Amino acid sequence: MNILVTGGAGYIGSHTVVELMKAGIDVVVVDNLVNSSKESLKRVEAITGKAVPFVEADIRDRAAMKKIFAENKFDAVIHFAGLKAVGESVQKPLMYYENNISGSLVLFEEMAAAGCKNIIFSSSATVYGDPAFVPITEECPKGKITNPYGRTKDMLEQILTDIQTADPDWNVILLRYFNPIGAHESGTIGENPNGIPNNLMPYITQVAVGKLKELGVFGNDYDTPDGTCIRDYIHVVDLADGHVKALNRIQQNPGLAIYNLGTGTGSSVLDVIHAFEEANGVKIPFSFKPRRAGDVAVNYCDAAKAKKELGWEAKFNLTDMCRDSWRWQKNNPNGYED
Ligand code: NAD
Ligand code: UDP
């Protein structure tokens, strides 16, 4: 199998490329490096012992995309490329719509022109908004999305659904990720946020490594057992494996299929802090802060459909995730800039 991986130099993409290559699948990565570095792919090469074919290009660049499809015959595309910072998307909505939507439209058009009609798309639990029920199954209605980033995910799900309805030759798998954290066990690839992290785990690891003084816990008055928000954290290597399993499924011509990728276990912010401290023997100073706008109290999934239809389930627990996130941060205090 030969797969085009858009955004393959990024956090989830680089881990997925490792798992694909381990499974004997050929890949070509296309990435414009707007939120990543070539170094991640060098490290993927060190892990796998194989070269990673890489094209530095923007998916909005039609000529570049045409060239990639002319030079390669792909069985499927795994589409990670996109901007993902929620707060930035509120400030710069046009940039988000232009990059994520326009870029994806060029990709889909060039796929169609090349006759490659199999795609796995990185969607997000954000499409459920404040979920109608938990654990969230794929049947849970979509909710009110509070930011442009989330709306690009919702819109792209709809666009792909419409494309598949119009032409049943398309096979579209929408993967709704819950909260990816952790890193490859080698400690050589991991999440490498620009500036001060917005997400919980990179913030914790930067406190642990001494780059930030203390963690602010956003809200302790939610209707949850300890008052802090509950999420479904999933190890990025499990998530990566979900893509390999989804590729097996796409070969069975599923038409349109949607899967939650999470562990099915909810953990509060305090659970994560305590698990991190215990797994790594490092103290995380924190204080409670007001709620963060747009946060929902509880969000975790029912992952039974992915188990039944993909034969996939998460193998790593929160302790594993905390240990691996810390190994990556400790070994690479400045991410890929070392
Ligand atoms: P990331 O920023 O590390 O990776 C995205 C990659 O896409 C980066 O390498 C970036 O340089 C590249 N990219 C962005 N715009 C591009 C363009 N126009 N052309 C070519 N390359 C471009 O993010 P990630 O955490 O690895 O996320 C991967 C995908 O999964 C994204 O679509 C993201 O929205 C989605 N997702 C992420 C999370 C999460 O919490 N990390 C949760 C749900 C969904
Ligand atoms: N959070 C926090 N402090 C931080 C970052 C996040 O308390 O510095 C909380 C946030 O309120 C949410 C959880 O951690 O309840 C996960 O947040 P993250 O941004 O990682 O993911 P989200 O679920 O919002 O996509």
Residue 303: CB partners within 8 Å, gap ≥ 6?
260, 261, 262, 263, 264, 313, 314
- Cα separation, 189 vs 42, in Å, equals 10
Q: What is the pLDDT of residue 337?
A: 87
Which of the listed residues 80, 99, 120, 173 should we mutate to test ligand 1's pocket, taking the one with most ligand atoms within 8 A of CB? 80
Which is nearest to 244 in space by CA: 231, 261, 230? 261
What spacing in Å lies between the alpha carbon of 80 and ligand 1's midpoint?
5
In our burial notation (b when 16+ CB lie closer than 10 A, e otherwise), range 3-26 reads: bbbbbbbbbbbbbbbbbbbeeebe
198 ligand 2 Cβ < 6 A: yes
Among the bound ligands, name the one nearest to the CA of residue 272: 2
Q: Which atom of ligand 1 is nearest to the CA of 126?
A: 43
Q: What is the pLDDT of residue 315?
A: 98
User: Which residue owns the Cα nearest ligand 2 atom 6?
Assistant: 200
Bridge-based pairing state of the strands 215-218 and 54-56: unpaired
Report the run of H or E that residue 235 belongs to, with start and end. strand 233-235
User: Which residue owns the Cα nearest ligand 2 atom 11?
Assistant: 218
- Would you give the end-to-end CA distance of the chain in angstroms? 34
- Cα separation, 319 vs 301, in Å, equals 19
Question: Tokens for 285?
Answer: 């100073």
pLDDT along the chain (338 residues), means of 10: 98 98 98 98 98 98 98 98 96 98 98 98 98 98 96 98 98 98 98 94 98 98 98 99 98 97 98 98 98 96 98 98 98 90
What spacing in Å lies between the alpha carbon of 170 and ligand 1's midpoint?
23
User: Which residue owns the Cα nearest ligand 1 atom 22?
Assistant: 81
Residue 18: CB partners within 8 Å, gap ≥ 6?
44, 47, 48, 184, 189, 240
3 state DSSP class of 39: helix
Residues involved in catalysis: 149
| pTM score | 0.99
- 8 Å CB contact between 40 and 114: no
- Cα separation, 239 vs 259, in Å, equals 12
85 ligand 2 Cβ < 6 A: no
Strand partners, 122: 175
- 8 Å CB contact between 91 and 16: no
What spacing in Å lies between the alpha carbon of 22 and ligand 2's midpoint?
32
269 ligand 2 Cβ < 6 A: yes
Q: Which stretches of 7-51 are DSSP H helices? A: 11-22, 38-48
Q: How many CA atoms lie within 13 A of 165 on its CB side?
A: 6
Provide the greatest CA pair distance for the chain. 56
Question: Tokens for 117?
Answer: 């009609």
In order of 87, 89, 282, the CA distances from 206 in angstroms are 19, 23, 12
